[in-house]
Structure 1
Amino acid sequence: MEAAEKEEISVEDEVVDKTIFRDCSKIAFYRRQKQQLSKNTTYRALLDSATTGQDSTKFQIINETTKIPLLVEVYGIERNIFRFKINEETPLKPRYEVPDVLTNKPTTVRLISYSGDGGSLTLTDGKEDLKCYITANPFKIDLISEKEVVISINSLGQLYFEHLQTPQTQRITNKNEEKSSADTSQENPEDPGLWEEKFGNFVDVKANGPASIGLDFSLHGFEHVYGIPQHAESHQLQNTRDGDAYRLYNLDIYGYQIHDKMGIYGSVPYLLAHKLGRTIGIFWLNASETLVEINTEPAVEYTLTQMNPAAAKQMVRPRTNVHWMSESGIIDVFLLTGPTPSDIFKQYSYLTGTQAMPPLFSLGYHQCRWNYEDEQDVEAVDAGFDEHDIPYDVMWLDIEHTEGKRYFTWDKKKFPNPKRMQELLRSKKRKLVVISDPHIKVDPDYSVYAKAKEEGFFVRNKEGGDFEGVCWPGLSSYLDLTNPKVREWYSGLFAFPAYQGSTDILFIWNDMNEPSVFRGPELTMQKNAIHHGNWEHRELHNIYGFYQQMATAEGLIQRSKGKERPFVLSRSFFAGSQKYGAVWTGDNTAEWSYLKISIPMLLTLNITGISFCGADVGGFIGNPEAELLVRWYQAGAYQPFFRGHATMNTKRREPWLFGEENTRLIREAIRERYTLLPYFYSLFYYAHVASEPVMRPLWVEFPDELETFGVEDEYMLGSALLVHPVTEPKATTVDVFLPGSNEIWYDYKTFAHWEGGCTVKIPVALDTIPVFQRGGSVVPIRTTIGKSTGWMTNSPYGLRVALSTKVYGQLDSAVGEVYLDDGHSFQYLHQKQFLHRKFSFCSSVLSNSCADERGHYPSKCVVEQILVLGLKKKPSSVSTHSSDGKDQPVTFTYYAQTSTLSLEKLSLNIGADWEVHIT
């Protein structure tokens, strides 16, 4: 191990030292905005200048103090979306506008404009249900839906815009001239940080001076706001105060603090608000450091002064004010108007893309550690799963598998025959994931470094040389993945001839891609480093990791000549990262509080488009007690990405190392995951084609029930399963809220049932995972578990049919779906090789029919077991009816105590039409 490496590993030995990272008081653009906004500078719209073209309406606004104009562009976008852009009319040079995040150029809707009395302008898309009302003085925009103001922009007068200036060296330092751009960039002794900003030993020299932007949004009637990951915080966003804002700035924070608004590994500048009757969203498309302040004003009663007793009291609606501030770029914001949660998810994915359809193996269990020592260690751990009858799909290798932290290489002593190791895994129908980080060891004899150096593929420092920083290999340069040529070259490194020792079962993990720079300010890259197009790092910091995951996914697709789906896990992410793979919550700690906070963290990722997410099972840092480890496996089994992981200085914690009883409990949890794979896979298909989150906060499924809006200790998995992980030590009961007064809920294990709309105290032992199936749903499962997903291709299916009841107690229906394809290729897309089936229970008949006629896939799988929950009477007979007209009697068992009907030893083809008649 090299000296630099030894020294720097200490960075990751202790839990976060917050003095390394800035809070708001140490961020110059935040201080400037707060200072200036206290002076009440206003903008006025010059509506006489308004022009409406095919795509947008444009007009000027002017700062009443400086008289410098800005250009506002308003776009109507199909699917009830409005876009607002505010930029300098004539900037000294172009300001950064975030590329590559929007899937396509959104289709615009021509706006119709109506002038008011000169002091206002109304824009509508022609349907008249959505209007944009612009007030000239002071400048304000109201978004009106069904005659109600839903969102107001700049109603608090917090619009702020710092104009680009010529560098200090070119300016005449005349005191009188300092008055230009007075609202935003006056240099004064009270507020340095205009042209350079100090933090610790670091000085950030700003070539263009201050360039920050800000804007406020008032959300009328809304008290519940969510989103803007990633923070180790509650699902419902909390009020901030001066000096305390949600920070969106991707950072490598080892052992991050929980219930903290500091930015961690990823940033999605997208906020949702929900109230009874409407959901809305604000997507602030900016990749520079961003701060978000939130202030909710609850509903209040006030007394009117007039004498009319009938109008003595009125209710003022609640309101949430959201103030966005970014260090640079332009104001480019999308307002998503819903009105339902489902509409919001579709609107956002229309802009940024849906969740990539994952390969099936990636929904199985992943086993990771920093680091499995060598090929013998991998072989022994792999054998341990078989010996203890625990299924798993993927073995992971961290940085130690490489030759001195040189990515795309193998340590010749520890991993002398990587292909043989992969063939061993392949023989078990398992996969391998290895790490590939964006820092490249400075070593002229390392081919990846030499080629990137020769081609000029590294991020540059402000002097024009290659940027160098310290990371795991010691001195490193950082690939400029914002450059399309660099991404194309990087993608090519995953080709089999280039990546010696790799095979088609090897997939990739992108880590440290915030980017992490051990000796950099806040352990990241200096903001004045230079990227492709001469953009400073400050403009695009939050999108750096997004680009690595994009290039990696593209490389894996190219490797298979476009045939196979990639799997890429990334620690850093941005809006739109869902198109390229999975993310996780980073370096968490083996404590109960981190298990608990993982639920709201994952819920927030899911509602902001990234369904494929998880938290390291067991906690990355520290040694979990056996009970915590068991409970974490039980929680992880019901979350989208399921991986056990631990840092190098922890004790080994493979599932069988905690005694026979704990091994049994962990085995049961993992096997339950494999049982539910058809349901998970179907949910990911819906996420992919219909933008539905896999893991949902209760308010998404029950948007009209106020009691659900703040719940974050339980969640819906799809629409059918409610999961309430046990997150407290030595728990003997948990309080589970079962929503929906017209719903019925069945305990997934005992089949006991409750009516919804109440909180139920559920007794729990260490083997209890509180999961409830919603009445009216059909959940597809596998009835036979293999060593991995690859062993289960032709495993039989089961159906769990949970009946709902009507108000007067009559049996009602149940519906569900299943999606299947080959699990690994793009044939489902290109050749429509898939099956999408619908199950429906109505009038005592369960039917299997086609849900999508476009799909065709030959499956040998049969439904061999059906369980009907909530059947009040024992049937006299049960028979199957096939599409060829044949009827077959079925042997059945009825359990009166639980009102459950069990049908076994069936042989009903999953892809054929059939019916089961219960008489």
Structure 2
Amino acid sequence: MGLEPVSAIGTDTTDIAMAVKENDFKKCDQSGFCKRNRAYADRAAANGALWTSPYNILPESAAFENGQFRAIILKTTNNKGDSVRLPITVSFTEAGVARVTIDEERRQNKDIELRHNSAARKERYNEAEQLVIVGGLTLDKTAKVVSEEGDTSTTVQYGLDGQFEASIHFSPFKVDFKRDGATEITFNNRGLFNMEHWRPQGAAAETKEGEAAPAPTAEEDTWWEESFGGNTDSKPRGPESVGLDISFVGYEHVYGIPLHAGPLSLKETRGGDGNYAEPYRMYNLDVFEYILDSPMTLYGSIPFMQAHRQDSTVGVFWLNAAETWVDITKEKIRSNPLALGAGAETDTKTHWISESGLLDVFVFLGPTTQDVLKKYGELTGYTAMPQESAIGYHQCRWNYVSDDDVKDVDRKMDKFNIPYDVIWLDIEYTDGKKYFTWDADKFIDPAGMGKRLDEHGRKLVVIIDPHIKNSDDYAVVSQLKSKEFGVKKKDGGLFDGWCWPGSSHWIDAFNPKAVEWWKTLFKYDAFKGTAENTFIWNDMNEPSVFNGPETTMPKDNLHHGGWEHRDVHNLNGMTFHNATHMALMSRKSGELRRPFVLTRSFFAGSQRLGAMWTGDNQASWDHLAASVPMLLSQGIAGFPFSGADVGGFFGDPDKELQTRWFQAGVFYPFFRGHAHIDSRRREPYLAGEPYTAIITAALRLRYSLLPAYYTAFHRAHVAGEPIIKPMYYTHPNAEGGFAIDDQFFVGNTGLLAKPVQAEGHTSVGMFIPDHEVYYDYFDYSIVPTQPGKRTHMPAPLETIPLLMRGGHIFPRRDQPRRSSQLMKYDDYTLVVTMPRTGSHAEGSLYVDDGDSYDYEQGQYIHQLFVLDGDTISSTRADGSSPPKKAGAWLKAMADVYVDKIVVVGAPSTWAGRISVTATSGGETWTAPLDYTPAIGGRAAFAVVRHLRARAGADWQVSIV
């Protein structure tokens, strides 16, 4: 939720904005360190070949040992030869990832000690790794120096079979990262590396004894303090930004660095037709009614970027939690100087700028997108395996007003046969915005409400935000104060700001003791009225502070360990998300249920903890269209459990928009309808006919595909794959699809979806990336296609454009139910799509109990399905044996079957067959086969009925 009128929070503070406008947030030239570094880049460009970077490696300091190159970079600070020493480490991991880290040797002189009298730490922030990185750092002891050019460079070979190289140039400092001998990524090729070094205040100009120091220059004006929007940020450590240019050689498209409301393929940012004039900004903020097609910051940030060209993907991960800006420009180059058109390539040149902290960058050389994402996941963690109910439909608004209201919605969803899994409560359920409490007049029996939901196989989610109401009658805030677990002001006193409750304090979730205290608040006997089916929503955790600079916390606030908020701002939301995740893991001794926690703010690594959504969108067609590229960006940035508020948070969608948004939301990994408190009620059953029926059909499509989605989540959990995949990911050679972001494939199913995203449209143009055959999902018609072109697809209001690519097998559950819990032991249907040529198709099913961690002890089913000629087989996908002892869930699954197989595009040789032969575990039996020949544009299809092949067993079906 974004800002509300002042009256809504019980204060007459006049500087709290009614609504957020774009100019409420900084542009680069209003952010001192960004402006300085951009000006630095402009000076370098203006000088061209005459520009010389003042950063050089001392040759005598260079050494390589046990997978690490170490040296000292000398920064020349003036024309007198004064210098600053910057230790550099280049590490090479067993996974083939390179890491470049540059710090600063601090001179602890008297001037610095006198000036630095606050509680803030003196060194650069260096603890992001502890919170973000979970593995993948084992050094490659086989990496070796393969070239030393005297005092000028060292080249290290690393990676599988030595396919990667890092050429480290000394004067000026530069690094070329190569794959198979060709340069893919270059650091400091344009000489924009800039590390603003530690200095005492007033050190910019020398003065004679008794003379007054000259006034600061325009560049120095924001070194020690900076004002914006009526707030002043003191900077006790002075200027300490770090910037670096990173060039992707021969790459035209770059992706990632979410969250921004713009296209998947990132735009240039230095102006020009169709480009942005501002850099992409990463500084997590509460952006109320955010604008579209913009590089301005939103609620979360992941500083991970990929570059892609035909058959090659590379990437970089900028591990820095401070405010960060990224400029992107592209330059045409020619591999053949005599070529006019042919032979031209594009370099994408990026410039990364962070306010503070280390330079810490990881380099991934691919060559595939899958390689890059898998290795990034090894570092920062993979998507948490969700509860199965969490990938069903969530019904939410701000606010369901009472426990009777909740039960009434639950009853009406059942009355209209509309499936859903979770209902949500926003802030109004509390007693006066005091979290961990209930409004006793409206939620008279929360435990009974939860029990009623549980009887229907459903869950409850309640909101808990990081701001704690500053009220004398509130035990939680009293404990926070007495234990000193809140974020502090620059002078060390407890920070007080304004949010929904009015005057509030913020838990400092960087403090391990504060996290331990936070965990106690969620225990069932402490948070009375909650139960095992109650889960949590973390909102406003950027953090949102209504009367703070840019609606957030002052940068000179202090966190655990003495670190300034400026150092850790983008990590703040993740630490709160983590604290809540841990709290749900410890509500009751011995209760090992997977938690569900939704977060609005996030950073790299947040994918380990739960889901995110794209925040306060609007009920408009433009926001519906923007949701797809935003979620695709999340997926390829390692955080695929993502969604957007279906219907739009603000405003009232008309019936067509609401219906089309549900048809799009069916494919969101996180699928939630949500609405603002001032919006009209819009539960699906209120839409009226024909809209309610169309929305219900869309919801049932999602529920039938839950086995396929859960299987896709497993791939995300073990290999870092997106849930919904852009064209460049699935078809890395189809250049025409590299910038397409209005359609996507679902997991590994071969399902290609393109939701209708414009008013009044009754057809879409779907980009077809290859020569494979595509079938309409609903009627099995063969879609006329031309590879690399868009094909016309009719899409009246009741239709979702959804195609099936040949050569795939995916699981469904076809029995309509009210919730995923009630589908738990339903039989499966397999859908097989015959390829254009040959007769081979593959797919898989992963399933576990959808709730516990028993899958870690082998309590799961994971089957690989293969069509080979006239035979369909099922074998254990990972090659392992089933567990020696089946638990209760796995025993129950012995009576769950693959009971139907639908083969779309079935060959004519199957015509006349009336049965198939099935074998499993030494048993043989037959099952009926229905064959329907092709007619008109519809493909022939065959249906195997009443197969009764156990879902968790190996079996084979022969159609002979």
TM-score of the two chains, using structure 1 as the length reference: 0.95
Per the alignment, in what secondary structure is the counterpart of residue 669 of structure 1?
Answer: helix
- Quick one: which of 780, 802, 805 aligns to 2:811? 780
Are residues 619 and 88 of structure 1, via their aligned partners in 2, closer, same or farther at CA, if it must alter by over 3 Å?
Answer: same
Partner SS state of residue 162, structure 2: coil
* 1:440–1:797 CA distance, 2 compared to 1 (3 A): same
Question: Would the alpha carbon gap of residues 334 and 761 (structure 1) be closer, same or farther in structure 2, given more than 3 Å must change?
Answer: same
Q: Alpha carbons of 1:406 and 1:68: their partners in 2 closer, same or farther (altered >3 Å)?
A: same
Matching residue's letter, 1:33:
N
> For structure 1, which segment, 322-331 or 486-495, has the greater mean C-alpha deviation from structure 2 after superposition?
486-495
CA contact under 8 A between 2:6 and 2:16: conserved in structure 1?
Answer: no
What residue is the counterpart of 2:99 in the other structure? 83
Which is worse superposed, 495-504 or 382-391?
A: 495-504
Please give the alpha-carbon distance, in whole angstroms, between the structure 1 residues aligned to 2:792 and 2:658: 24
Residues 1:432 and 2:448 are matched in the alignment: no
Partner of 2:847: 820
Kindly indicate whether the alpha-carbon contact (under 8 Å) linking 1:800 and 1:867 is maintained by their aligned counterparts in 2.
Answer: yes
Deviates more, 1:11-20 or 1:27-36: 11-20
* 1:879 aligns to 2:909 (yes or no): no
8 Å CA contact 2:927–2:946 kept in 1: the answer is no
Q: 1:771 aligns with which of 802, 808, 813?
A: 802
Indicate the residue corresponding to 2:737 in structure 1.
708
Match of 2:563 among 525, 535, 551: 535
Computed over aligned residues only, the root mean square deviation of the Cα atoms, in angstroms, reads 2.3
SS in structure 2 at match of 1:131: strand
Offset at 1:55?
4.7
Identity of aligned residues (%): 40
- Give me the whole-angstrom Cα distance separating, in 1, the residues matched to 2:852 and 2:241: 45
What is the match of residue 475 of structure 1?
A: 503
Q: 1:271 to 1:190 in 2, by over 3 A?
A: closer
Q: Which amino acid aligns with 1:659?
A: G
| 1:437-836 correspondence to structure 2 within 5 Å | 437-560=465-588, 561=590, 563-719=592-748, 720-741=750-771, 743-754=772-783, 757=787, 758-806=789-837, 811-829=838-856, 831-836=857-862
Residues 4 and 474 of structure 1 are in contact (CA less than 8 Å); yes or no, is this contact kept in structure 2? no
- The aligned runs of 1:97-136 (5 Å cut-off) are 97=126, 98=128, 99-104=130-135, 106-110=137-141, 111-113=143-145, 114-125=147-158, 127-136=161-170
The normalised TM-score by structure 2 is 0.91
Q: Which letter maps to 2:466?
A: P
1:181 match: none
What is the correspondence of 1:174-213 to structure 2 with a 5 Å cutoff? 174-175=206-207, 187-189=216-218, 191-213=220-242
Aligned equivalent of 1:841: 867
Cα deviation per residue 1:751-781 (whole Å; 9 max; x = unaligned)?
Answer: 1124561421011110110111111111100
Q: Is the 8 A contact 1:879 1:918 kept in 2?
A: yes
Task: Give deviations 1:172-211, integer Å, cap 9, x for gaps.
Answer: 9853799xxxxxx994145511100011211100010111
Q: Name the count of aligned residue pairs.
A: 901
- Structure 1's 393 and 177: CA in aligned 2 closer, same or farther, altered over 3 A? farther
- Closer, same or farther in 2 for the Cα pair 1:638/1:865, shift >3 Å? same
Pairwise CA distance, 1:77: 1.1
State the shift of 1:865 in Å.
1.8
1:643-676: CA deviations, max 9, x gaps? 0000000111010112121000010001110000
Deviation at 1:564, TM superposition (A): 0.7
Residues 277-326 of structure 1 show CA distances to partners (whole Å, capped at 9, x for unaligned) of 2111110000000000001113458756xxxxxx9998453101011000
What does residue range 221-370 of structure 1 map to in structure 2 within 5 Å? 221-241=250-270, 244-300=278-334, 303=337, 315-370=343-398
**Partners of 2:332 and 2:347 within 8 A in 1:** yes
Residue range with higher mean Cα deviation, 747-756 or 194-203: 747-756
Residue 844 of structure 1, CA deviation: 0.9
SS at match of 1:665: helix
Contact 2:927 2:944 survives alignment (8 Å): no
Identify if the C-alpha distance between structure 1 residues 681 and 301 changes in structure 2 by more than 3 Å, giving closer, same or farther: closer
Unaligned runs of 5+ in 1: 179-184, 305-310
Structure 2 counterpart of 1:851, from 877, 888, 896 = 877
| Unpaired stretches in structure 2, ≥5 consecutive residues | 45-50, 109-121, 272-276, 884-889
Moved more, 549-558 or 153-162: 549-558
Following superposition, the deviation at residue 8 of structure 1 comes to 7.9
Q: Relative to structure 2, which stretch is displaced further, 890-899 or 412-421?
A: 890-899
| Higher mean C-alpha deviation, range 269-278 or range 41-50 | 41-50
- Residue 814 of structure 1 aligns with an amino acid whose one-letter code is A
Q: Deviations over 1:317-360 (max 9, x none)?
A: 31010110000001000001111111011110011000000000
2:36–2:219 Cα contact (<8 Å) kept: no
Q: Does the Cα contact within 8 Å between 1:736 and 1:759 map onto a contact in 2?
A: yes
How much has 1:14 moved relative to structure 2?
A: 6.2
Residue 182 (structure 1) aligns with: none
Q: Distance in 2 between matches of 1:259 and 1:466?
A: 39
* Secondary structure class of the residue paired with 1:396: strand
Report how far residue 13 of structure 1 moved: 9.2
Per the TM alignment, residue 915 of structure 1 is displaced from its structure 2 partner at its CA by: 2.1
- Aligned mates of 1:337, 1:420 — CA distance in 2: 55
CA distance in 2, matches of 1:797, 1:684: 18
Whole-angstrom distance in 1 between the partners of 2:17 and 2:557: 28
For residues 517-553 of structure 1, give each alpha carbon's deviation from its aligned partner in whole angstroms, at most 9, with x where no partner exists.
0000000000000000100000000000001111111
Give the 3 Å change call, closer, same or farther, for CA 740–404 of structure 1 in structure 2.
same
Q: Is the 8 A contact 2:226 2:234 kept in 1?
A: yes
Deviations 1:601-644 (A, max 9, x none): 00000001111000000000000010000000000011100000
Contact 1:461-1:529 at 8 Å conserved across structures: yes
1:81-114 Cα distance to aligned partner (Å, 9 max, x none): 0000011133653210213100136111134223
Decide whether the 8 Å contact of 1:878 with 1:916 is kept in 2: no
Aligned with 2:40: secondary structure? helix
Change (3 A) 1:705 1:501: same
Deviation, 1:562, is: 5.3
CA distance in 2, matches of 1:414, 1:313: 70
Alpha-carbon displacement from aligned partner over 1:569-588 (angstroms, at most 9, x marks no partner): 00000001000000000000
After superposition, the Cα gap between the structure-2 partners of 1:907 and 1:2, relative to the gap in structure 1 and judged at 3 Å, is same
Matched, 1:896 2:945: no
**What's 2:901 paired with?**
866
Quick one: distance in 2 between partners of 1:502 and 1:432?
9
Relative to structure 2, which stretch is displaced further, 195-204 or 862-871? 862-871
Deviation at 1:80, TM superposition (A): 1.4
CA distance in 2, matches of 1:8, 1:895: 73
| Partner of residue 308, structure 1 | none
Contact 1:58/1:73 (<8 A) preserved: yes
Pick closer, same or farther for the CA change 1:302–1:792 going to 2, 3 Å. Answer: closer
How far residue 855 of structure 1 moved from its aligned partner, in angstroms, is 4.2
Q: Mean Cα displacement is larger for which, 856-865 or 545-554?
A: 856-865
Letter in 1 for 2:952: G
Matched residues in 2 for 1:774 and 1:108: separation?
42
Counterpart of 1:518, as a letter, is F
- Report SS of the residue matched to 1:886: strand
- 1:259 counterpart letter in structure 2: D
Residues 136 and 398 from structure 1, CA distance in 2 versus in 1: closer, same or farther, beyond 3 angstroms?
Answer: same
Q: 1: CA distance between counterparts of 2:204 and 2:336?
A: 56
Q: Following TM superposition, by how much is the alpha carbon of 1:889 offset from its aligned partner in structure 2, in angstroms?
A: 4.2
Aligned counterpart, 1:405: 433
> d(CA) in 2 for partners of 1:699 and 1:412?
53
Shift of 1:740: 1.2
- Residue 307 of structure 1 is matched in structure 2 by none
Letter in 2 for 1:890: P
The alignment partner of 1:297 has SS state of: strand
